[in-house]
Amino acid sequence: MIIGITGTLGAGKGTVVEILKKKGFSHYSVREFLIEEIKKRGLPVNRDSMVLVGNNIRRKNSPSYIVEKLYEKAKNYGGDSVIESIRAIGEAQALRKKENFYLFSVDADIEKRYDRIKKRKLNSDFVSYEKFIEDEKREMKNTDPSKQSLLDCIKLADFKLENNGTISELEKKVDKILANLEIK
């Protein structure tokens, strides 16, 4: 089984990944893929560079290029895998056509999400609340399939997780989904 993770900024996508990794899933990250490319290009590692480089790679190759590369790695691994941070509709649409693939979305209240990004202390997260909102608006909706369109990705999700509670509560939600998928 391969699970893709999409969702709003700071909602807990990484937390869902950690839950799945504890269950034996291998992890493939769009963010890490982009950070490698950003470093090769000598750009600062921040959200603006990730958007710029990601859009450039998808425009140059195909809207699903990055996730297709990660999916290929996951498929070659042969076990259960998770691909984190699906943000472009072209990515979500391509993966939805794959066998044994499920798309999860994660969301939470905006104040909780901003508080979470401040606590995780990633380079791309050192932004004001206003910049956080501006970044999310920029990534929320786009008609170009190679650019971020979180809203469209979320709409395509097989399972939607609200993450306004504890990690334990989120883990129970993930466990319930996985139990239902094992029955299929």
Cα–Cα distance for residue pair 6/13, rounded to 1 Å = 7
Residue 183 falls inside a structural domain: no
Could you tell me the two tokens for 64? Answer: 């699903």
Question: What is the distance, to the nearest Å, from the Cα of residue 145 to the centroid of all Cα atoms in its chain?
Answer: 16
Categorise residue 94: left if φ over 0, alpha if ψ from -120 to 50, beta otherwise: alpha
Cα–Cα distance for residue pair 124/117, rounded to 1 Å = 9
Residue 181 falls inside a structural domain: no
Residue 184 falls inside a structural domain: no
CATH at 56: 3.40.50.300
Residue 134 falls inside a structural domain: yes
pTM across the whole model: 0.89
Residue 52 falls inside a structural domain: yes
Residue 64 falls inside a structural domain: yes
Q: What is the pLDDT along the chain (184 residues), one digit of tens a residue?
A: 999 999 998 999 999 999 999 999 999 999 999 999 999 999 999 888 998 999 999 999 999 999 999 999 999 988 999 999 999 999 999 999 998 999 999 999 999 999 988 887 665 667 889 988 998 898 899 888 888 899 999 999 999 999 999 999 999 999 999 999 975 5
Q: What is the DSSP letter of 12?
A: S
Residue 105 phi/psi, 5-degree rounding, is -115, 150
Beta strands in 36-100 (DSSP E): 81-84
In the chain, the number of structural domains is 1
Range of the structural domain that residue 162 is part of: 2-176
Q: How far apart are the first and last CA of the chain?
A: 12
Residue 182 falls inside a structural domain: no
Q: Is the Cβ–Cβ distance between 86 and 69 less than 8 Å?
A: no
